[in-house]
Amino acid sequence: MIIKRIELRNFKSHKHSILKLDEGISVILGENGSGKTSILEAIGYALFRLQPVKLEQLIRRGADDMSVIIDFSLRGEDYKVVRYRGKQKKTALYKDEVLIALGDELVKETIEALLGMDGTVFTSAIYARQGEIDSMLTSRSGERKEVMGRLIGTQELEEVHKAMAEVIKHFSSKLERYHDIDNEIKSKSKKIIEYMGQSEEFKIKKEEVREKLDKSKISRSELEKEIIIVREI
C-alpha cells in the first residue's frame, strides 16, 4: 500500500490541509502542536475508523462536520477512501473512481480485507504512538519489554497463550476422563465376552448330560424288557 494524498477538513487542528506524498520515505516536519500526530491519527481514522479520543474531539472547534480523504494505491490499483462526520455525506470507498463500499462499517471491513490487517495490527506493527519510542529507549528493561509488547502486539499474544493454556488444561482433563471411561468399557466388554464363552461352554456340557441321560433311559428301557421276558419264561 502506498499513500499518495491526504486531505483533512476540520480534523482536530487542521482546518483544511492537503499533503501529497511521493514514493519512498516521507518526513513530516513541524513544531510541537502543529498537527503532525493528527495526520497519523487521521490515517488510522480514515482507514480503520480508529478514534484515539472521543469523536467530538476529532472535529475542529467551531466546526459542525469534518472529513478525511486518503488516496492510495495497492497492487497496481488506485483507491480513495472518504470518511465523513456530518449530516449530509456518508463514508465511501472508491476503486478507480468507482464506488465499491458505502457506510462507516462496510468501508472499514472492505479496507481490512484489502490490506489484510485491522486497526489493532496497524497500531501495533505500523504506527507507534507519540512518546512510545522515547519511552522504549529511556525506560528500564521491564518497562521496555512492556512498551515493546504494546508496539508489536506480544502482550496480546501472551494473554491469548495463557487463555489457551487454560483451555488445553481443561480439555486435557476431560480427555483423561474419557480415557478412563474407555478403559472401563473395554474391561467390562472383556468380562461380557468371557461370560458369553462360559455360557456357551455350559450349554455344551448341558447337552452332553442330556445325551447321557437319554442313553441311560434307553438302557433302562431295554433292561426292563429283558426282565419281563425272563419272568414270562
How far, in Å, CA of 229 to CA of 233, rounded? 6
Per-residue model confidence as pLDDT tens digits over 202-221: 777 777 777 777 776 666 66
Rg of the chain over Cα atoms, rounded to whole angstroms, equals: 42
Q: At what angle do helices 36-48 and 104-115 cross, to 10 degrees?
A: 100
Mean pLDDT of the chain: 79
CB 83 within 8 A of CB 91: yes
Please count the residues of the chain: 233
Q: What is the mean pLDDT of residues 111-125?
A: 81
- pLDDT 10s digits, 53-82: 787 888 888 888 899 999 999 999 999 999
Q: Which of 4-13, 17-26, 34-43 has the highest mean pLDDT?
A: 4-13
For position 191, what pLDDT does the model report? 80
Report how far residue 184's alpha carbon sits from residue 218's, in angstroms, rounded to the nearest whole number.
Answer: 51
Question: Does the domain formed by 2-116 have CATH 3.40.50.11540?
Answer: no
Domain range list for the chain = 2-116, 153-233
Residue 25 makes CB contacts below 8 A (sequence gap 6+) with: none
**Residue 128's CB: how many other CB atoms inside 10 A?**
18
Q: Flag the least confident range among 73-77, 102-106, 142-146, 166-170.
A: 142-146
Is 201's pLDDT higher than 80?
no
